[in-house]
Amino acid sequence: MSNIILTADSTCDLTPELKNKYQVSYIPLHIVLGEKSYEDGVNITPPEIYQNFEATGTLPKTAAVSTGEYLEVFRPVVERGDSVIHINLGSAISSSYQNACIAAEELGNVYVVDSCNLSTGSGHIVIESAKMIEQGMDAPEIAEKLRALTKKVHSSFVIDKLDYLRAGGRCSTLAVLGANLLRIKPSIFVSNADGSMTVGKKYRGKLENVLIQYVDEQLSAYNNIRTDKIFITHAGIGEAYVKLVYDHLKSKDYFENIYITTASCTISSHCGPGTLGILFMTE
């Protein structure tokens, strides 16, 4: 009897405990600092990226997983008669999905799913896949169901400082100065159609107040939120803010599991420290 092996891009941001529980194998994207390339989460960490930015004022470049790298992972699985379900970072923000599809087409028995999301938005799809594997579904059926589920994942973040967005060319120096003076903290929403990102509400005030307002507004925007799990995913933000959001969610007595995770190097290098989001699914 053949098995189904579950793989995912390193950007799905599950905790080591969840990764082990659901038997997920990560395939790392690349972080390029100067002349040296690193593997996301393998030989570089987000704090090292922050330290480099503080020292140099420049952001690393991020690079997709190549078709050849996917082939190296998928081929041994297929050759021993097993199948692969692979969950990708949203196709709008990385060519990893296209590269994985090319590898899958060459090998067969590899089912690539565009999560249409990032970070633990993709993580939701990974966990759903693992549960379907446990239920004994076959790979084509799982892939079909997962592609429908991507529209039910809702991901967003609040960013405290815009320095990384400025360094990455996503906003002007003037906009950063104005935002800092006015204590504006924008929210970023991920489209669950393809993973693209847009600026949402621009909050104003102290970060602790903004985070509570943001959480309440996100939860009140939907009347059919799934209760089984929600992620708090953050990048370089103080533990007190994470605890604040966790305690606020806990007080609602709604979610069975509230998972706290740290954003991968790929995600962190774009948003920078001081970022926090909640990511959940609807029915």
Q: What is the pLDDT of residues 204-247, one digit of tens each?
A: 889 999 999 999 999 999 999 999 999 999 998 999 999 999 99
Q: What is the pLDDT of residues 152-171, one digit of tens each?
A: 999 999 988 765 454 444 43
Q: What is the pLDDT of residues 50-71, one digit of tens each?
A: 888 888 877 788 899 999 999 9
CATH of the domain at 270: 3.30.1180.10
Which pLDDT belongs to residue 262? 96
Q: Do both 122 and 189 map to the same domain?
A: no
CATH of the domain at 107: 3.40.50.10170
Q: Report the number of distinct structural domains present in the chain.
A: 2
Query: What is the rounded CA–CA span in Å between residue 99 and residue 204?
Result: 41
Query: What is the rounded CA–CA span in Å between residue 117 and residue 115?
Result: 5
Q: What is the pLDDT of residues 121-150, one digit of tens each?
A: 999 999 999 999 999 999 999 999 999 999
Which pLDDT belongs to residue 162? 62
Q: Do both 137 and 165 map to the same domain?
A: no
Last residue of a domain, one of 126, 150, 174: 150
Q: Do both 217 and 233 map to the same domain?
A: yes
Q: Do both 135 and 231 map to the same domain?
A: no
Which pLDDT belongs to residue 273? 83
Last residue of a domain, one of 150, 177, 208: 150
Average pLDDT value for residue range 79-106: 96
Q: Do both 195 and 141 map to the same domain?
A: no
Q: Do both 145 and 224 map to the same domain?
A: no
- Looking at the predicted structure, is the pLDDT value of residue 1 above 60? no
Sheet holding 197-204, edge to edge: 197-204, 184-190, 153-159, 275-282, 225-235, 258-262
- Looking at the predicted structure, is the pLDDT value of residue 178 above 80? no
Q: Quickly tell me which residue has 């290098």 as its tokens.
A: 269
Last residue of a domain, one of 150, 173, 195: 150
- Given a contact cutoff of 8 angstroms between Cβ atoms, the answer to whether 26 and 55 are in contact is no
Domain housing 198: 153-282
